[in-house]
Chains A and B, each alone.
Chain A
Amino acid sequence: MSDVGINSTIGEQEARFGDFFALLKPRVMSLVVFTALVGLLAAPVPVHPLIGFAAILFIAIGGGASGALNMWWDADIDAIMRRTRRRPIPAGKVAPADAMALGVALAVLSVTMLALATNLAAGAMLAFTIFFYVVIYSMWLKRATPQNIVIGGAAGAFPPVIGWLAATGTMAVEPWLMFALIFMWTPPHFWALCLFMRSDYDDAGVPMLTVTHGRPATRAHILVYTVLLAALAIGAGFTGIGGPVYLIVSLVLNAAFLAGALRIWRRDEVLAEADNYAVEKRFFRLSLLYLFAHFGAILVEALLRQWGLGGWG
């Protein structure tokens, strides 16, 4: 065997810097960064810009660590699903042990640094969030119950609470309203994805609602959760995080979201397959705009409040 032969084999498997970055789920991280930033800026305590930047950075790194540990644990099912089979571990670019080491190292680093840069409460909440996502959701619930998304979705809802804690060091009702918004938004968002990713979860044996209760039941669940979400989102408009701007944004988006959920509920698989799940895909895209616009409106209200405007008083 020649040296060139050995090097070629190793070269194909050698991970790039970008492969390690992909382990951190950058797209999920953008949601974490934005919602944590809103939590931090909506808090009634001014934060030094550098401390605020560090807080958001370490919350994002904590989210990334959760992503890496989730990819390490779920590498077997990621290799089966179309949506995930190009991830660094199933693609053979990063060794599972390396992904786990990166996840653990970043988790420890992010929690320690957040606690040092801001306060212990924020660090502890970040540690709990990582634990919740990796152990409660990934290791336990995801493969055990069709309610995996409902309970596990809480992990993605913690960032605004951590952002608020980083700024204030104390708890209040407002960050939990933001938490509730993401918590109620996650099931319809994810179930819409499950509907048009068709056989992915079936093949992987993950007990998604589409697999255990069927597609009509999933469509009904999307509608029920969307109604509950709309009530919560519009109701939040009259609380401390809301105001006229938020309420207008929320009314428009919830009307569109409810209309989308109704359309999904009325359809069956024959109709959905005929247009390649166009309604479900549109609903999924709208769900992304829905969350970003709601948190954007909360941010606008918080910024207006600094000028004596915003809110209801």
Chain B
Amino acid sequence: MQNEVMNVIMTAGELLLTSGAEVYRAEETMERMGKSLGYSVEAYVTPTGIMVTVAKDGYFLTRIRRIRSRNQDLGRIAGVNQISRELAMGSLTLEQTKLRLQELRGPIYNTFIRYFAVMVASACLTFMLGGRQYELIIAAGAGLIAYLVDLLLSRFNANPYLRSFAAAFLVANGVYTVRSFVPNISMPLVTVGGLMILVPGVAMASAVRDLVQGELLSGTSRVVEAVAIAAALAAGSAVAVGLWRL
């Protein structure tokens, strides 16, 4: 029984952390879920691993889980939050909780909706920066390329820095190629609009919220992660721009 509870709590914590949630949220959720199930739980979470002890009647069970990859999936964070809330109200059993957590692993939006969102968002950002007409269409294409490269490389377990670098490199090259046919488009507007979808927004927001909570370790390491990804994006486009000037 204690093992079952441990499994459920660990799954919830892992889902939160791999989706980019704050460390304090992962700790609080795990402790609250344990309490709702009648166990006292102590969790210590860092962005790269979870340590948790589940205790009842003097019996302690401790487990460590390493976390090696982090994505941006706010839907899962909201989902785990909802499950933990329902568990605390007593409307879920242990088995139901397990099933609900499993269901969260599936995607919310299908591929076409996501591609469409990427294209529209890239075009709108380019418009807000001052782009017009053709630039918007090209930015939509650039955004789609960036997203597809990122998705493809993550299938091969590439780290986020390589993914961002490759996406930026290919997008900048693509925009340069298009510009040789449509000369009067603004290179920066289109490239930036297309690459914005790779901005590590979730990591940055989680870092700030963790710092506010006094989670210095997670806050600083996530800031470094976000800055490194931004640097990879800049470096990727810099290499492409440099090559085209040769």
A complexed with B: no
Residues of A within 8 A of B (CB): none
- Which residues of B line the A interface, CB within 8 A? none
